[in-house]
């Protein structure tokens, strides 16, 4: 799957996370911390991270990732972009 440029990717991920969390998109900013600001526990974070990675064709890398390391939409976008560069 094609990974869009960072700004577009962040917008897509904001929409994805907002939809999955049932929040308005404007609540999920690029730098909102999933646990501290949005109340998403670590188990739910890893599930959402897995779905986000699957969306861009990287479902094979979820094992071993730690949700706290990807605690914002920007961090998830950076991960997706780095995975795209490696392939």
Q: Which residue, among 37, 34, 36, has the nearest Cα to 47 in the 3D structure?
A: 34
- Mean pLDDT over residues 49-68, rounded? 91
Q: Does position 1 have pLDDT exceeding 70, yes or no?
A: no
Confidence of residue 62 (pLDDT cuts 50, 70, 90): confident
Kindly provide the b/e burial profile for residues 20-58, where b requires at least 16 CB atoms within 10 angstroms of the residue's own CB.
Answer: ebebeeeebebebebeeebebeeebbbebbbebbeebeb
* Rounded percentage of the chain residues whose pLDDT exceeds 90: 83
Residue 86, pLDDT score: 87
Residue 87, pLDDT score: 84
In the numeric block, which tokens belong to residue 67?
């949700």
The whole-model pTM stands at: 0.94
């Amino acid at each position: 799957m094609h990974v869009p440029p960072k700004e577009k990717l962040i917008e897509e991920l904001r929409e994805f996370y907002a939809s999955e969390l049932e929040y308005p998109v404007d609540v999920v900013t690029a730098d909102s911390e999933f646990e501290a600001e949005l109340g998403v526990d670590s188990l739910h974070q890893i599930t959402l991270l897995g779905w986000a990675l699957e969306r861009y064709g990287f479902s094979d890398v979820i094992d071993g990732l730690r949700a706290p390391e990807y605690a914002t939409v920007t961090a998830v976008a950076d991960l997706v972009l780095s995975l795209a560069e490696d392939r």
